[in-house]
Amino acid sequence: MIGFEQVNKHYGSFHVLKDINLHIETGEVVVVIGPSGSGKSTLLRCINRLEEISSGHLTVNGYQVHDNKLPLNHFRKHIGIVFQHFNLYPHMKVIDNITLAPIRVLGLPEHEAKRRGLAYLERVGILDKAEVYPAQLSGGQQQRVAIARGLAMNPAIMLFDEPTSALDPEMIGEVLDVMRSLAQEGMTMVIVSHEMGFAREVADRIVFMDQGQIVEQAVAADFFVQPKEERARVFLSRLLHH
């Protein structure tokens, strides 16, 4: 479903992604971890072409992502993304945040988009907030709206770019709960996260990155018990002993 082959990316003279090879199957949940500045977010943002790659091949949903003729808007409607800072539209009510793209991109009639939007809001546990503006919600609630907004497009893949990093600790749980239930339903998910407990529990596979490279890929259970690479061991021990 997602395939990186010898992908490289440079920002000027800075080599952000180095020879990335990564294949993600339908229904797989992959958590990308690593120190800050290791290229995790850049890797994620290449998947829906928020970032351009410099060389190599990237295939997503059967599209060559960096083909000049890629129908970008059509391609992107099958990929949901949740950002660290939510990026909800502050001038629109919660329900309008969710229905905008289904109406304007998928062409759904307004009442149908609204019906679906409300169903997704119920699913993330904040049906009663449909008619308020994002600023009236807590961070955790805003992030759940952002997830509902992504799901409302009925995507094949959901991307999560550090979805809990901007949240107060007591709100992280409610967002992870929603993501956990998505994973259990078989959604294909790529998650950049620092939540090791969550990664261990939910991920089918852990991808560990450092300095722009994928250093280790392993089944979650194996990775956390016995990382093969020295850099991964150092990274994990720092997290555990701080």
**Chain positions contacting other proteins, by CB under 8 A:** 48, 50, 73-74, 76-77, 79-81, 83, 85, 87-93, 100-101, 104-105, 133, 149-150, 153
Residue for token digits 């969710």? 98
Q: Which is nearer to other proteins, 150 or 212 (CB)?
A: 150
Q: What's the DSSP call for residue 38?
A: S
Q: Which is nearer to other proteins, 130 or 206 (CB)?
A: 130
Count of C-beta atoms within a 10 Å radius of residue 172: 18
Residues in the chain: 242
* CB-nearer residue toward other proteins: 91 or 228: 91
Query: In whole angstroms, how close is the CB of 150 to other proteins at the nearest point?
Result: 8
Q: Report, in Å, the least distance between residue 178 CB and other proteins.
A: 18
CB 189 to other proteins: min, Å: 16
Integer-rounded Cα Rg, in Å, for the chain is 18
**Cα dihedral value 61, 67, 69, 73, nearest 10:** 50
Residue (79 or 206) nearer to other proteins, CB: 79
Taking the complex as a whole, how short is the minimal distance between the CB of residue 86 and other proteins, in angstroms? 8
Question: CA-CA distance, 27 to 116, in Å (whole number)?
Answer: 22
